[in-house]
A and B are shown apart, each in its own frame.
Chain A
Amino acid sequence: MIKLLPLIRHYLVYHRGKTVTLTICLTTALYLPLTVHSLVEMLQAEMVRRAEATPIVIGPEGSRFDLVLHALYFHTDAPGTIPRKAAAGVGDSGYAAAVPLFVRYRARGHPIVGTTLEYFPLRGLDIGRGHLPTLLGDCVVGWQVAQRLGLSPGDRLLSDPENVFDLGGAYPLDMRVTGILDPAHSPDDHAVFVDLKTAWIIEGIGHGHDDLDETADPESVLRTEEDRTVASPALRTHTRITPENLASFHFHGDPGEFPLTAILAFPHDPRSGTLLLGRYVGEESRLQALRPREVTEELLGMVVQLKRFFDFHHALMFAVVGLFVALVMLLSLRLRKREAETLFHLGCSRGTLFTLQAAELLILLTVSAVLAGAASWTTVQAARTWVQTLSG
């Protein structure tokens, strides 16, 4: 076999057009199923991992898939809101630790996750540099956000305006980056974390502005009544929270009714989890509680169905490529009849003649498999971040 290798090399180089065409065909036929299989496997593993790390999700009624994708992957198109007191109700039940989430806005394309400090230890997130938020307007960013935007503790990050043409909409908030999270290889790497109150300020529920009684700008005051001062639209509203204006920030309304988009519940034990879920069963409940693992498996069921279709498609394509390669080899045998005759006349054995032809095909298959493997590995590595975050 080794003695024959130079002959095979000469043949493949001499007929390089045929060699390259066959290699491309075989590489493509191997690359597609290999990559789809690897990506689906990775997607399944990542989704199950994230779902298993979140025992129960509570949120507004509606699509189960939307709620789980929102709570686990921070899709900012939240299915609705629930009152903050619902989170307090979970905590008060004694069944689970409740972590509220309010995720509606983005900063430079990354979701702003309003939550409490409990979120970080429950998700196993560590601060790599800096510290957790301590004041209103502080934020910590995921590792990928810091990498992509070149952020360090002390830098500023502006939330994205909701709608530049909507004067009554949410105004951007200039946030101070206090810390960078260590890599978690999860959607947390791509998120900006703030305290719930900071998220509500972006929502417009809370705000800070000049003190009307002390403002030097007369245009800021519309009129003064007996017991109150009415501000004019010219009153300067702060978009950056500083130690100087921190005290001017305040919220209007009942804090128990402030919105959340989801609650993550971490039951103390399996029985508590079951009892907690039971509280949300019934027509009178306007909330739904889900086990993300079950919803994720349902979602993956659809992915598997889709994969089956692709598998069939790839099998068909592989068969066609196989027939094409067989045809080319058959034609090649005919074209090489004289060469085979020469080798026979010289005294070459039938086994050697067969080995020569088979080794050529084997080398093409090996090279194609290596190329397909390398290309597939590269694709999977490139797609890994996307799969881990499902952020699109």
Chain B
Amino acid sequence: MRIGIDQLGFEYPRQTFRLHIPELSVASGERVAFVGPSGSGKTTLLRLLAGIYLPSAGHLTLGDTAIPELDDAARRRFRITRIGFVFQDFHLIDYLDVEENIRLPYRIHPALKWTSDVARRSEALAEATGIADKRRRRVDELSQGEQQRVAICRALLPEPGLVLADEPTGNLDPANKERILEILFRETRQHGATLVMVTHDRDLLSGFPQVIDFQNFQTPLPE
């Protein structure tokens, strides 16, 4: 899924600065990494791309769709069917087991249909991320790394055209970092999905043809 941004602005509530991205273009199936200090707007841009936040100015298109112009229901539908989001703090449901957390998008939206193919794919993802033997365990019984992998499986299961990953390797040991990156790369490549990943880990940037530094995207608001 192609990403197009032109003069995108976003104002934080009760803050004296705004996020301003003059231009950004990511081709479909491309991999792009967002780097920069904490608070520089990386996660905010991910949320703008997902339609969770709405920009105060500029244009944002995903494929042929101008996300801010969709109504609320259409944005939610677009998000759950076309975008896979791996949240920094996982956003798992603690009273559900691993399998139900992975399946969650299929439970909460009628646009996603649970079929035997999807079930097989869910099993394969769990196997690939090393959590297949924990599918009946509740997520609050898992380690941070295991929870991260559950979140990745949930994001990848609907085969989205755009995968947004907010520091998906932040809680993992080096061996698991490589394993997760490999899964993310393989899955997105296999389905022609665009991967946008926020990271602080500069060692991971070699796998990304395009790296966006957020150092200068914040501008002060006039008094």
User: A residues near B, CB below 8 A?
Assistant: 3-4, 6-7, 10-11, 13-15, 338-339, 341-350, 352
Chain A residue at smallest Cβ distance from B95: A14
Flag if B79 contacts A346 (CB, 8 Å).
yes
A14 to B94, CA, bound (A): 9
Q: Shortest Cβ distance from B87 into chain A, in angstroms?
A: 7
Residues of A contacting B: mostly: helix
Flag if B91 contacts A341 (CB, 8 Å).
yes
Known pairs A7-B100, A10-B100; A346 contacts B108 (CB<8 A): yes
18 A-B contacts, Cβ less than 8 Å apart? A3-B107, A10-B95, A10-B97, A11-B95, A14-B94, A338-B91, A342-B92, A342-B93, A343-B108, A345-B87, A346-B85, A346-B91, A346-B104, A346-B108, A347-B77, A347-B109, A348-B109, A349-B73
Residues of A within 8 A of B83 (CB): 347
Residues of A within 8 A of B195 (CB): none
Q: Shortest Cβ distance from B223 into chain A, in angstroms?
A: 33
Q: Shortest Cβ distance from B90 into chain A, in angstroms?
A: 9
Flag if A346 contacts B95 (CB, 8 Å).
no
Flag if A348 contacts B95 (CB, 8 Å).
no
Q: Shortest Cβ distance from B84 into chain A, in angstroms?
A: 10
Residues of A within 8 A of B138 (CB): 14
Which residues B58-82 have CB closer than 8 A to chain A?
72-73, 76-81
Q: Per-residue CB proximity of B37-57 to A under 8 Å, as 1/0?
A: 000000000000010100000
Flag if A7 contacts B96 (CB, 8 Å).
yes
Residues of A within 8 A of B34 (CB): none
- Please pick, from A6, A14, A345, the residue contacting B50 in the complex, using a CB distance under 8 A: A345
- Please pick, from A7, A14, A348, the residue contacting B80 in the complex, using a CB distance under 8 A: A348
Interface residues on B, range: 20 to 34
Flag if B80 contacts A4 (CB, 8 Å).
no
Say if the beta carbon of B105 comes within 8 Å of chain A: yes
Flag if A352 contacts B87 (CB, 8 Å).
no
Say if the beta carbon of B10 comes within 8 Å of chain A: no
Flag if A347 contacts B106 (CB, 8 Å).
no
Beyond A342-B93, A346-B85, A346-B105, 6 extra complex contacts between A and B, CB < 8 Å:
A7-B100, A13-B95, A339-B93, A345-B87, A347-B77, A347-B83
Residues of B within 8 A of A13 (CB): 95
Residues of A within 8 A of B77 (CB): 347, 349
Flag if A347 contacts B80 (CB, 8 Å).
yes
Residues of B within 8 A of A7 (CB): 93, 96, 100, 104, 107-108
Flag if A347 contacts B107 (CB, 8 Å).
no
Flag if B105 contacts A347 (CB, 8 Å).
yes
Q: Shortest Cβ distance from A138 into chain B, in angstroms?
A: 72
A347 to B111, CA, bound (A): 11
A339 to B107, CA, bound (A): 14
Which residues B101-144 have CB closer than 8 A to chain A?
104-110, 138
- Please pick, from A15, A341, A347, the residue contacting B76 in the complex, using a CB distance under 8 A: A347
Residues of A within 8 A of B104 (CB): 7, 343, 346
A263 to B223, CA, bound (A): 103
A349 to B110, CA, bound (A): 10
Residues of B within 8 A of A343 (CB): 104, 108
Most chain-A Cβ atoms within 10 A of its Cβ — which of B91, B92, B100, B108?
Answer: B108
Q: Shortest Cβ distance from A341 into chain B, in angstroms?
A: 7
- Please pick, from B52, B81, B100, the residue contacting A6 in the complex, using a CB distance under 8 A: B100
